[in-house]
Amino acid sequence: MIANAQMVETQIERFAALPLDCGSVLTPVDIAFETYGELNANRSNAILITHAFSGDAHAAGIHRVSGRPGWWDNMIGPGKAFDTDRYCVICSNILGGCAGTTGPSSIDPATGQPFAMTFPVITVPDIVRLQKMLIDRIGISRLLAVAGGSMGGMQALEWSVAYPEMVAAVIPIATTHRHSAQQIAFNEVGRQAIMADPDWDRGSYYLQRPPARGLAVARMVGHITYMSDSSMKEKFGRRLNGREALTREAAGFDFSAEFEVESYLRYRGSQFVDRFDANSYLYITKAMDYFDLSYGRGSLPAALERAEARFLLVSFSSDWLYPPYQSEEIVRALRSRNRDVAYCELSSQYGHDAFLLEVEEQTELVRGFLNSTYQRVTR
């Protein structure tokens, strides 16, 4: 356990109904969330952290039940980028997830059984709509900032145009305003891996064995996209498990995990199965693929013309899942509408995972941006 770490608990709020873009209405709907730091007297210091695809509400501190640190604990806390001595930070589990917020593994009150594939298809705007309901209930009329990486960046962008009056600043990191064909293709491979597993049983596996093999393969494919060629070369190279080099004598001439990278991917896949729901994987990746900030709003510049917030966009040089050009498209659209935007492409060898690992430079960028925003809001 980390010395002097903040112990935190996940809270649940329930709402009577949530209308969805697909036309369905969820009744009721729960949202899991955590808070770090304290709201000031006029509630002007609240920051919403939006998580990536496989994240959850536990973004910082040590969870009182599980004992594990938050997924962005290196960025959220006293004296860190999102300084909880100064700001009140909130993070909620997304709609469709499997960590306390209503999703396909939740019980359908109409049947008393898990929703499974009867759960309605969701969108990123649906996810943000539920977050907005939570922020309203907490009693916050305007967020100092909404910040997130990857899919979290999509949510931050949606906040900026769906509820412009409620957001003073937006920090989308390593993200995009819509998926490319390649990004949709990777998600589809993952979905097909799950649905091809005989244990998936059309999603009705909750009282049986889960589709562990399919979900593990989906995670393996996804994890490859989170790393870069150089980071994989440095971490694994062509090293074998417990052997010096691949020679005729050393080769097993079978399909066991001989290379370190094979063992690593299999481990990450099996680890993911223990904490994530396969149906949530299907629903959340589909929501990501549907996301297009310009949908129903004309062009991307026209959509961002609604925004009243100031923006800080961050990308990473080796990120080939959400490459820098996609952040640059957003920056150009904002500048074409004379919006307040700063952009930085950070040099990193870690690929997409850099937003979780490259702490020092991100901290300086975020700290300065939040400080100037807070001064504007409170002057």
Closest CA to 294 of 303, 283, 307: 303
The pTM of the full predicted model, rounded to 2 decimals, is: 0.95
Residue 249 pLDDT > 90: no
Which residues are known catalytic residues? 150, 319, 352
pLDDT of residue 102: 98
Mean pLDDT of 358-372: 97
Tell me the HSE value of 4 on the side-chain side, using a 13 A CA sphere: 2
Task: Report pLDDT digits (tens) over 19-73.
Answer: 999 999 999 999 999 999 999 999 999 999 999 999 999 999 999 988 999 999 9
Task: Answer whether 7-178+293-378 and 185-283 agree in fold.
Answer: no
| Reported CATH class of domain 7-178+293-378 | alpha beta
Mean pLDDT of 288-310: 97
3-state SS assignment for residue 62: strand
Integer angstrom CA distances of residue 95 from 125, 140, 185, 227, 231? 10, 20, 23, 26, 32
pLDDT of residue 1: 37
Buried-exposed string 233-256: b where 16+ CB fall within 10 A, e elsewhere: eeebeeebeeeeeeeeeeeeeeee
Encoded amino acid at 299, one letter: S
Label residue 3 by pLDDT band (50, 70, 90): very low
Mean pLDDT of 134-140: 98
Residue 248 pLDDT > 70: no
Strand pairing report for 76-77 and 82-83: parallel
Return the domain boundaries, the chain: 7-178+293-378, 185-283
Residue 4 pLDDT > 70: no
Q: Are the CB atoms for 260 and 245 separated by under 8 Å?
A: no
CATH level 3 topology of 185-283 = Rna Polymerase Sigma Factor; Chain: A (1.10.1740)
Distance between CA 161 and CA 19 in Å, rounded? 19
Closest CA to 146 of 130, 164, 133: 164
pLDDT of residue 250: 64
| Mean of all residue pLDDT scores within the chain | 95
Task: Report pLDDT digits (tens) over 195-207.
Answer: 999 999 999 999 9
Mean pLDDT of 155-163: 98
